[in-house]
Structure 1
Amino acid sequence: MRALTVRPGEKDSLAVVDMPDPVPGDGEVLAEGLALGICGTDREIAAAEYGWAPPGAERLVLGHESLGRVRSAPEGSGFARGDLIVGVVRRPDPVPCPACAHGEFDMCRNGRYTERGIKEIHGYGSELWTVEAGYAVKLDPALERVGVLMEPATVLAKAWDQIERIGARAWFGPERALVTGAGPIGLLAAMMGVQRGLDVHVLDRVTEGAKPRLVRELGAEYRTGALRDACDGIKPDIIIEATGVGPLVFEAMANTAAAGVLCLTGVSPAGRHLSVDAGLINRDIVLENDVVFGSVNANLRHYRLAAEALARADQGWLEALITRRVPLDRAEEALRPAPDDVKVVLELRSG
């Protein structure tokens, strides 16, 4: 089989290579790889910024945004040949920590978790792959063209789940939500906000093209300009920050409605210094009972919630999120971002 691989820590090592076909072990599903979503994490690993090969291996098979079709499955697993599936990314640490022991491996306390295509386990970027039946999630067959969006959707399924749990600390009746960033994470966040009946606004820099159109097709409002100006008009009860841009993060902290919830999903680069009025931000958060929290990764419950959200969504709208589909033999093109990209997908099947 062919697989998209890198030597972690070595620049310019990205290559599609031939590897032995995987043999499923006890309790494992064998799947034909259909598609692989490309995200910033893949680009950072390819740029040698981080990533870890499996112990004893020279190369790491990339890919954590999976979509596959079952070729064989263990008896009694709940999977059958032909089922459309995705594989969960993270595995609990071997100790395990208390969170991992309770199935909340997305909240691992000691950092000894492993991740497919990222940290010490081969990913899903190959023509064939195996996955433990307990870490595979079945999708509605109607999602074949868009099921590769499942993994990023889990990030937002978790974010919304936790927003609602935090809101339940007191009476919670949100009406308006602001999403900063109209990439795949921001757009899926907006979609799930609309599904909840909220008045959703999305803030981004571009003024034309796919992003504004996709937001408007959701029934949400697209905004450009300063975050403070956008918030003055709507005073959001919820902000989901999906850019990781430092100034936006701090502006968002000071611009929710009273008892507002700010969820940070974007990862900011380190080493950049900002001047902020920390006292004013602290005052606003304390006096308004605001909450600021970060969210990353997802556990099995969030995968199921994401599958439900995708099944309820307009399939044409979801397919429009995928702005480029690139064959495996041109994988390097997929990892080079283009100005009009929303989501880039690598097609793993030959022909």
Structure 2
Amino acid sequence: MRALTVRPGEPKSLRVAELPDPEPRAGELLVRGLALGVCGTDKEIVAGDYGWAPPGEERLVLGHESLGRVLRAPAGSGFGEGDLVAGVVRRPDPVPCGACAHGEFDMCRNGRYTERGIKEHHGYGSELWTVEADYAARLDPSLERVGVLLEPTTVVAKAWEQIERIGDRSWFEPRRVLVTGAGPIGLLAALIGSQRGLDVHVLDRVTQGPKPRLVAELGATYHHEAADVVAARVQPDVVVEATGAGSVVYDVVEHTAAYGIVCLTGVSAAGRRIAVDFGAVNRELVLANDVVFGSVNANLRHYRLAAAALTRADPGWLERLITRRVPLQRAEEAFTAGDGDVKVVVTLSEDG
């Protein structure tokens, strides 16, 4: 089989390699890969900035945003031939910590987790892959063209779940949400916000291309002014921050409505410094009962929530979110940004 591989820590090591077909172990599904989503984490691994190969190996099979079709499933697994599935990314640490022991491995406390296609565990970027039945998520057959969006949707499904749990510390009836960043994570966060019946606002820098239209099709409002201006005007009850830009984070924290919740999903680049008056931030948080928290990854519960959200969504809108599909033999092209890119997908088979 062919697989998309990289040597972690070595720039320009991305290549499509011939590897032996995988043999499923007891309790595992054998899956034909259909499609693989490409995100910022993948680009960091390809650039040599991130990633770990499995112990004793030099190369890592890339890919954590998966979609495939079951070829073979063990009896009693709940899966059958032809099922559309995605593989869960993270595996709990072997110790395990308290969170992992309770199935909340997205909240691992000791960092000993592994991740498919990222950390010490081969990913889903191959024509064939295996996955434990307990770490496979079934998708509705109608999602064949867009089910590769499941993993990024799990990230925002978790974010919204955490927002609700924090809000439930007291009376909570949010009306306005501001999403900063109109990449895949931001747009999927806006999708779930619109499904919740909220007044959704999305902020991004671009004024051309598909992003403004995708936001409008959700019934949401698109903004491209400075973050402080937009946040001050919208006065959001909830902010989902998906840019990782320090100045944007500061501006939205400063301008939420009272009792506001800011969820940070974007990872900031190191080395960029901005002057911040932490005394003013502290005063704002305390006097307004505000909350700022970070959220990353997802557990099995969030995969179910994400699958339900995608099933409820307009399939045409989801299809338009995928702006470029690149065949496996030309996978390198997927790691170079193109004009108007939102989500780029590598197709692993002819029907992917």
- The two structures share one fold, judged by TM-score above 0.5: yes
Q: In structure 2, what residue type is equivalent to 1:270?
A: A
- For 1:278 and 1:93, the matched residues in 2 are separated by 35
Using structure 2 for the length normalisation, give the TM-score. 0.99
Superimposed CA distance per residue, residues 8-66 of structure 1 (whole angstroms, 9 cap, x where no aligned partner): 11111100000000000000000000000000111100010011111111110000000
Report what 2:118 is aligned to.
Answer: 118
Secondary structure, aligned partner of 2:285: helix
- For 1:326 and 1:273, the matched residues in 2 are separated by 36
Report what 2:152 is aligned to.
Answer: 152
Structure 1: where are the runs of 5+ without partners?
A: none
Report what 1:238 is aligned to.
Answer: 238
Is 1:136 aligned to 2:136, yes or no?
Answer: yes
Superimposed CA distance per residue, residues 169-208 of structure 1 (whole angstroms, 9 cap, x where no aligned partner): 0000100000000000000000000000000000000012
Report what 2:254 is aligned to.
Answer: 254
- For 2:13 and 2:143, the matched residues in 1 are separated by 33
> Equivalent residues in 2 for 1:178-189 (5 A)?
178-189=178-189
- For 1:272 and 1:324, the matched residues in 2 are separated by 31
Is 1:201 aligned to 2:201, yes or no?
Answer: yes
Superimposed CA distance per residue, residues 285-304 of structure 1 (whole angstroms, 9 cap, x where no aligned partner): 10000000000000000000
Report what 1:329 is aligned to.
Answer: 329
- For 1:232 and 1:114, the matched residues in 2 are separated by 41
Report what 1:65 is aligned to.
Answer: 65
Q: In structure 2, what residue type is equivalent to 1:188?
A: L
- For 1:203 and 1:129, the matched residues in 2 are separated by 38
Structure 2: where are the runs of 5+ without partners?
A: none
- For 1:335 and 1:132, the matched residues in 2 are separated by 29
Q: In structure 2, what residue type is equivalent to 1:237?
A: D
Report what 1:293 is aligned to.
Answer: 293
Using structure 1 for the length normalisation, give the TM-score. 0.99
Secondary structure, aligned partner of 2:293: strand
Report what 2:319 is aligned to.
Answer: 319
- For 2:204 and 2:350, the matched residues in 1 are separated by 37
- For 2:347 and 2:138, the matched residues in 1 are separated by 19
Superimposed CA distance per residue, residues 207-234 of structure 1 (whole angstroms, 9 cap, x where no aligned partner): 1210000000000000011112112222
> Equivalent residues in 2 for 1:69-108 (5 A)?
69-108=69-108
- For 2:79 and 2:343, the matched residues in 1 are separated by 28
Is 1:282 aligned to 2:282, yes or no?
Answer: yes
Alignment length (residue pairs): 351
**Aligned CA-pair RMSD:** 0.7
- For 1:136 and 1:323, the matched residues in 2 are separated by 26
Q: 2:232–2:256: 8 Å Cα contact kept in structure 1?
A: no
Is 1:310 aligned to 2:324, yes or no?
Answer: no
Secondary structure, aligned partner of 2:304: helix
Superimposed CA distance per residue, residues 51-92 of structure 1 (whole angstroms, 9 cap, x where no aligned partner): 111111111000000000000001010000000000000000
Identity %: 72
Superimposed CA distance per residue, residues 234-285 of structure 1 (whole angstroms, 9 cap, x where no aligned partner): 2100000000001001111111100000000000011221111211111111
Q: In structure 1, what residue type is equivalent to 2:43?
A: R
Question: What is the CA distance between 1:350 and its match in structure 2?
Answer: 4.6
